[in-house]
Amino acid sequence: MAKDPTHTTSTSTERLPQGCRIAVVASTYHGELVDTMKGSARAVLEAAGLDRDDWLEVAVPGAYELPLVARRLALRDDVDAVLCFGLVLRGDTDHDRYISTTVATRLMDAAFEADTPILFGVLTPNNVGQARRRARTEADGGLDKGREVARAAIGVLAALERARTIGRGDKRSGSSKKSGGSKK
């Protein structure tokens, strides 16, 4: 399949810091494609050094249930990032848009509240064909959303670490803080 520039994923080869713990919330609604994304994400993270025991997985009934459980996991001190997987398919009414808009907003709210990255692996396709194309792995001819989410988790954790340490130890270290600190 030709690569669509709007669906290009980073090819980051960064590794996860040792001891990193990743929590995963995945809906059982449209479970087959959700599981495909989850499996791809897990493979990427384990290849990046994630210990099998540091993948903590929780199932929820539908995408609408993702934010509350993701928030609970993100608030734990021993969880470094939360990956959320779901698939909200366009229906005949506005129902799907209420779900997807609320989920996207609430997941970011929870990330801010917990000061922990929460990754958005929730597809919102217009039809099953679009869903399959996005969920399937590259090896299976798809756009591999699960891989993208895993790579984004690695990338944002590295960025947060850099944001925590950059400029430390230079001539201004020890001066007063300009802004509030972080839990990590």
Ligand X SMILES: Nc1c(NC[C@H](O)[C@H](O)[C@H](O)CO)[nH]c(=O)[nH]c1=O
Smallest distance, ligand X to C-beta of residue 110, A: 16
Contacts of 62 (CB under 8 A, 6+ apart): 27, 28, 29, 86, 99
For the window 77-106, what string marks contact with ligand LTPLIIQW as x by the rule CB under 6 A? --------------xxx-xx--x-------
CB of 88 to ligand X, least distance (A): 4
**What number of H helices and E strands is found in the chain?**
5, 4
Comparing CB distances to ligand X, the nearer of 16 and 63 is 63
The listed partner (ligand LTPLIIQW, ligand X, none) that binds 55, CB under 5 to 8 Å by sort, is none
Distances from the Cα of 35 to the Cα of 21, 27, 75, 113, 136, angstroms: 20, 9, 24, 28, 10
- Binds ligand X by CB under 6 A, chosen from 70, 87, 143, 152: 87
* Residue number with the smallest Cβ distance to ligand X: 62
CA 160 to chain CA centroid, nearest Å:
15
- Detail the residues annotated as belonging to a binding site for 5-amino-6-(D-ribitylamino)uracil: 29, 63-65, 87-89, 120
User: Is there binding between residue 27 and ligand X (CB under 6 A)?
Assistant: yes
For the question of residue 95 being annotated catalytic, the response is yes
Distance CA(130)–CA(182), nearest Å, equals 39
Write down how long the chain is: 184
Indicate which single residue of 16, 22, 26, 63 sits in contact with ligand X (rule: CB under 6 A): 63
- Pick 48 or 88: Cβ nearer ligand X: 88
Cβ–Cβ < 8 Å for 36, 135 = yes
- Bridge partners, 82 (sequence order): 23, 118
| Contact (CB, 8 A) for 143 and 136 | yes
Interface with ligand LTPLIIQW by CB under 6 A: which residues?
Answer: 91-93, 95-96, 99
Give catalytic residue positions: 95
List residues near ligand X by CB under 6 A: 27, 29-30, 61-65, 86-89, 96, 99
